[in-house]
Amino acid sequence: MTLKTILKTKAFYATLAALVLTLVPLAAKKASDAASKYKEKLNKQQQLEHALSRLSFGARPGDLEAVQKLGLKKWIEQQLNPQSISENPALESTLAQMPTLALSTEALVLNYPTPQVLTAVATGRMKMPEDPQLKEVYERLSQRYKNRIERKKTKGEEEEEAAQKGINDRLRRRVGAMTTEERSLALRKLAPQQAVASELTEAKIYRAVLSERQLNEVLADFWFNHFNIYLDKGADKWLTTAYERDAIRPHVLGRFSDMVRATAQSPAMLFYLDNWTSVAPEAGEKIRRVAPKARARGLNENYARELMELHTLGVDGGYTQKDVQEVARCFTGWTIEEPNRGGKFRFAERVHDKGEKVVLGITIPAGGGIEDGLKVIEILSSHPSTAKFISRKLAQRFVADEPPQALIDRMATTYQKTSGDLKAVMKTMLASPEFMSAGSYKSKMKSPLEMVAGALRATGATLTNAMPAAQAIAQMGQPLYRKQEPTGYSNNGEEWLNSAGLLARINFSLALSENELQGIRIDKDSFSTIARDMGAPEWQRR
C-alpha cells in the first residue's frame, strides 16, 4: 500500500478523526484534573493535620490529639474567636519584659528618644526629662549630638568618648547573646533606638511560637504583610509598634474597611507612603513662597496608587492614572503631627484640595474636608474588585498558590453580602470543600517565618532569646518588618523554593537539633531527630 492509497482509504480518515477527538479533550482534562483535586476529600487524620498546619504556625507535640478531643469544628470556631481562648501565661510574661510593645508612640519617643529629640535637647530646643533615670540616658546620648553639632572637642572629651564607644561596642556585641530581658534593659540605656525594633521583632516570634490564639497570629502576619510598611524607613522605626498593635491587630477578624481606615490614618503608613507631605498644589505654592526649602510643595501620588493597587482593588481592579491623581487629591492634608516626635494623625484643612474630584466615576463634590478621604475608603472597600482581590489573597494564603476560582467567587460574595466582614469571609473559606481537599493539602511551601516558628513549636523549644530565630528567618529571605517594598512578601509559596533558602533551612534545623542556637533549648533526647527532620523535604510544605 502506497502513501497515496492510504490517504484515500476511509479507514485512515476514521482513525484520524478518532485521534483528534481523543487528543483535543486531553488539554481540557489537565485543567479538570486540578479541579478534581479540590473535590477529593481528606481523611480525618489529614483534616486535623491540615487545619493545624494552615491555621497555626504548626502543631506542637500533643496538639493533634488535643484538637481531635475537642473536635475540629469547635477548634476552628475557637480560633475564629481568639478572645474566647485564654492566652498562654508564658507568652504574657515574656511580652511583659518588653515595655516598648505597650507604650503609646508619644511615650515611646520620650522613653526611647529619636535622634531628632536628642538633637533638640542638645541644642536646648527641648527640655531634659525629669525622671532621673531617663535624664541620665538623655544626657549621655544627647552629648553625642551636641559634639556633632559643635564640632569642637577637647582631647579629654575625645578620649572619654572613645572609651565609652569601646564599652558600647563590646556591649553591643554581647547584646545578641543576651536573653530578651537582659537585652531589653541594656538597649534601653545603651541604644534606645534599637530597643524598639528588637522588641518588636522578638515579640513576633514569641507570639508565633507561644500564642494559643494561633489563627489570630497567622492573620496578624498576613494583614501586616498586606498593608506592608518598612521598619527601617526613618520615623517608622518608632511608628511600627503602634501600627501593628492599633491599626492591624484589632481588625484582622473585623471589618475590612475599618482596617483600611486605621492604616490610612496611621502615622506609620502616612510616613511610609509619603502621604503626610502631600498637599494641594495651590497650598504648596504658598508654602514655597514662605519656606522655599519646605518639603510639602504639592501632590504626592505614592499612597493613592498603592492604596488601590495593593490594599484594595488590586492592580487589575479597574482604576486609571487619573483615578490615582484624584485619590491623591482626596487625601491631601492627611498628615502627621511632628512625625519624628511620635505625632498622631492630623487632618490639615489648610492644605487640603477642596476642588471637585471624580474617583472611579463617582463625583466627590467640591468643598469637602476629611470626608473626601473617608469617602474614597468607603468606595474602595465596597468595590467588587476589592471583594475579589481580598478573597483571592486570603485563599492563596490558606488554600493554594493558585486557588480555585469558584472558591474565590463564593468568598467574594460573602464579602459583598456582609460589607467586608473578614470573619465571615474566613468562615466561607474554612467551611469550603476546597480548603479540606487533596488539592490544598501540603501544597504550600512554608514561608521562612512559618518554617522557623513551626520547627520551634514541633520541638517544644524553650526560648529565652528570639533574635537567633529572627536572624535565621532573615537568612532564608524574609527579614521581619523589613520588606522595603509596599508589596510585602509574596504569598505564593514558590517564592521560597530555592537553593539559598533550602540551605538556610537545613542549617537552622541542624543547629536546632544540636542546641547550638543562643537562647533556644530543646530536649535533645526527645526532639533532636524531629529538629533535624525540619530541614528535610517532607517538612518544607504545609
**Residues of the shown chain interacting with another protein in the complex, contacts defined by CB under 8 A:** 274, 277-279, 281, 284, 295-302, 305, 309-310, 315, 321, 324, 474-477, 484-487, 494-504, 506-507, 510-511, 532, 535-538, 540-541
Q: How far is the CB of 217 from another protein (least distance, A)?
A: 23
Q: How far apart are CA 402 and CA 252, in angstroms?
A: 23
Closer of 95 and 445 to another protein (Cβ): 445
Beta strands in 227-383 (DSSP E): 334-336, 345-347, 357-359, 362-364
Residue closer to another protein by CB (options 195, 304) is 304
Buried b (16+ CB within 10 A) or exposed e, 439-454: bbbebbbbbbbbbbbb
Residue 442: phi and psi, rounded to 5, are 50, 35
Q: Name the residue type at position 216.
A: N
Under DSSP, the state recorded for 352 is S
Note whether 276 and 335 are within 8 A (CB): yes
Residue 423 CB, shortest distance to another protein, in Å, is 28
- Determine the length of the chain: 542
User: Shortest gap between Cβ of 290 and another protein (angstroms)?
Assistant: 15
Nearer residue to another protein within complex by CB, 126 or 502: 502
Q: With respect to another protein, which residue has the nearer C-beta, 328 or 430?
A: 328
Least Å distance between CB 295 and another protein? 6
CB of 62 to another protein, least distance (A): 26
Of 195 and 452, the one with the shorter C-beta distance to another protein is: 452
CA atoms of 212 and 214, how far apart (whole Å): 5
How far apart are CB 300 and another protein at their closest, in Å?
5
C-beta of residue 343 within 8 angstroms of C-beta of residue 336? yes
> What single-letter amino acid sits at 369?
G
Q: What value, to the nearest 5°, has the Cα angle with vertex 384 and ends 383 and 388?
A: 120
115 in helix, strand or coil?
Answer: helix
345: which strand partners? 336
Q: For the CA atoms of the chain, what is the radius of gyration?
A: 28
CB nearer another protein, residue 192 or residue 298: 298
Work out the widest C-alpha separation in the chain, in whole angstroms: 108
Are residues 236 and 250 in contact, defined by beta-carbon separation less than 8 angstroms? no
Question: Closest distance between another protein and the C-beta of residue 233, in Å?
Answer: 10
Shortest separation between residue 442's beta carbon and another protein, angstroms: 9
Q: Which three cell numbers stand for residue 194?
A: 534599637
In the bound state with another protein, the residue whose beta carbon lies nearer, of 99 and 234, is 234
> What are residue 478's phi and psi, to 5 degrees?
-135, 60
